[in-house]
Structure 1
Amino acid sequence: MKRVIYKLFLAILLVTLVAPVTNAQRDKLAQTGFKFLSVPTDARAAAMGESFTSLTGNSGALFYNPATMAFSTSMWDVSFGVNKWIADINYLYGSAAFEPFGSLFGKFGITVVNVDYGELQGTIVDGSSPSGYRDVDMFKPTAFSFGVGYANALSDKFSLGANIKYVRQNLGQSVIDIDSSGNLITEENALNAIAFDFGILYKTGFKSLNFGMSVRNFSTELKYKEAGFQLPLLFKIGLSMDVLDFVDINKEEHTFLVSVDASHPRDYPEQVFIGGEYTFMKTFSLRGGYSFPNDERNVTMGVGLNTSKFGFNLAVDYAYIPFGIFNNVHNLSVKFIY
Structure 2
Amino acid sequence: MKKITYLLIGAFLISGFSMKAQEEDRNRVITTAVPFLLVAADARAAGMGDQGVATSPDVFSQQWNPAKYAFASRENGISVSYTPYLSEIVNDIFLGSLNYYHKLDDRSALAGSLRYFSLGSIETRQYFEQNPILVNPNELTFDLSYSLKLSEQVSMAVAGRYLRSDLGLQDEEDLGAASTFGVDVAAYYESDQITMSSFDGQWRLGANISNIGPKMKYDDAGQENFIPTNLKIGGGFDFIFDSENKLGTYLEVNKLLVPTPQDFDGDGDIDGEDDVEYNSIGSIEGIFKSFGDAPDGFSEELKEFTLALGAEYWYREKFALRAGYFNESDQKGFRKFFSLGAGFAYQSVVIDASYLFNTSSVPSPLEGTLRFGLSFNFGDNYAN
TM-score, structure 2 as length reference: 0.70
Task: Quote the residue 2:189 is aligned against.
Answer: 202
Structure 1 position 307 matched with structure 2 position 342: no
- Shift in Å, 1:136: 2.5
Structure 1 position 115 matched with structure 2 position 117: yes
Counterpart of 1:157 (choices 148, 153, 156) is 153
Mapped partners of 1:187, 1:335: distance in 2: 37
> Which letter maps to 1:161?
A
Counterpart of 1:98 (choices 82, 95, 102) is 102
Mapped partners of 2:312, 2:40: distance in 1: 17
Counterpart of 1:277 (choices 294, 307, 312) is 312
Aligned CA distance change for structure 1 residues 56 and 321 (closer, same or farther; 3 Å): same
Task: Flag structure 2 segments of 5+ consecutive residues without an equivalent.
Answer: 1-24, 195-200, 259-302, 379-384
Q: Which 10-residue stretch deviates more, 138-147 or 196-205?
A: 196-205
Task: Quote the residue 1:5 is aligned against.
Answer: none
Preserved contact between residue 97 and residue 113 of structure 2 (Cα < 8 Å): yes
Equivalences for residues 168-247 of structure 1 within 5 A: 168-175=164-171, 186-205=173-192, 207-225=201-219, 226-242=222-238, 244-245=239-240
Mapped partners of 2:189, 2:335: distance in 1: 33
- CA deviation map 1:58-97 (0-9, x unaligned): 3310110111111111100111111112364211211011
Preserved contact between residue 210 and residue 231 of structure 2 (Cα < 8 Å): yes
Task: Quote the residue 2:51 is aligned against.
Answer: 51
RMSD of Structure 2 on Structure 1 (CA): 2.1
Q: Which 10-residue stretch deviates more, 150-159 or 34-43?
A: 34-43
- In the alignment of these two chains, the number of paired residues is 288
Q: Which 10-residue stretch deviates more, 140-149 or 200-209?
A: 200-209
Preserved contact between residue 278 and residue 287 of structure 1 (Cα < 8 Å): yes
Task: Quote the residue 1:298 is aligned against.
Answer: 337
Preserved contact between residue 34 and residue 232 of structure 1 (Cα < 8 Å): yes
Mapped partners of 1:58, 1:263: distance in 2: 20
Equivalences for residues 9-20 of structure 1 within 5 A: none
- CA deviation map 1:21-55 (0-9, x unaligned): xxxx9855243111121221121011111221112
Mapped partners of 1:240, 1:271: distance in 2: 17
Task: Flag structure 1 segments of 5+ consecutive residues without an equivalent.
Answer: 1-24, 176-183
Counterpart of 1:255 (choices 235, 246, 260) is 246
Mapped partners of 1:116, 1:26: distance in 2: 27
Aligned CA distance change for structure 1 residues 155 and 26 (closer, same or farther; 3 Å): farther
Task: Quote the residue 2:375 is aligned against.
Answer: 335
Task: Quote the residue 2:5 is aligned against.
Answer: none
Task: Quote the residue 1:179 is aligned against.
Answer: none
SS in 2 for 1:103: coil
Preserved contact between residue 239 and residue 260 of structure 1 (Cα < 8 Å): yes
SS in 1 for 2:70: helix
SS in 1 for 2:69: helix
> Which letter maps to 2:40?
P
Aligned CA distance change for structure 1 residues 28 and 107 (closer, same or farther; 3 Å): farther
Mapped partners of 2:248, 2:373: distance in 1: 20
> Which letter maps to 2:99?
S
SS in 2 for 1:37: helix
- CA deviation map 1:125-183 (0-9, x unaligned): x4xx6xxx7452111101111111111111111100121111111014221xxxxxxxx
SS in 2 for 1:156: coil
Mapped partners of 2:374, 2:101: distance in 1: 14
SS in 1 for 2:132: strand
Q: Which 10-residue stretch deviates more, 273-282 or 220-229?
A: 220-229
> Which letter maps to 1:98?
H
Q: Which 10-residue stretch deviates more, 114-123 or 28-37?
A: 28-37
- Shift in Å, 1:189: 4.3
Task: Quote the residue 2:163 is aligned against.
Answer: 167
Preserved contact between residue 328 and residue 336 of structure 2 (Cα < 8 Å): no
Preserved contact between residue 26 and residue 269 of structure 1 (Cα < 8 Å): no
Equivalences for residues 314-333 of structure 1 within 5 A: 314-323=349-358, 325-326=363-364, 327-333=367-373
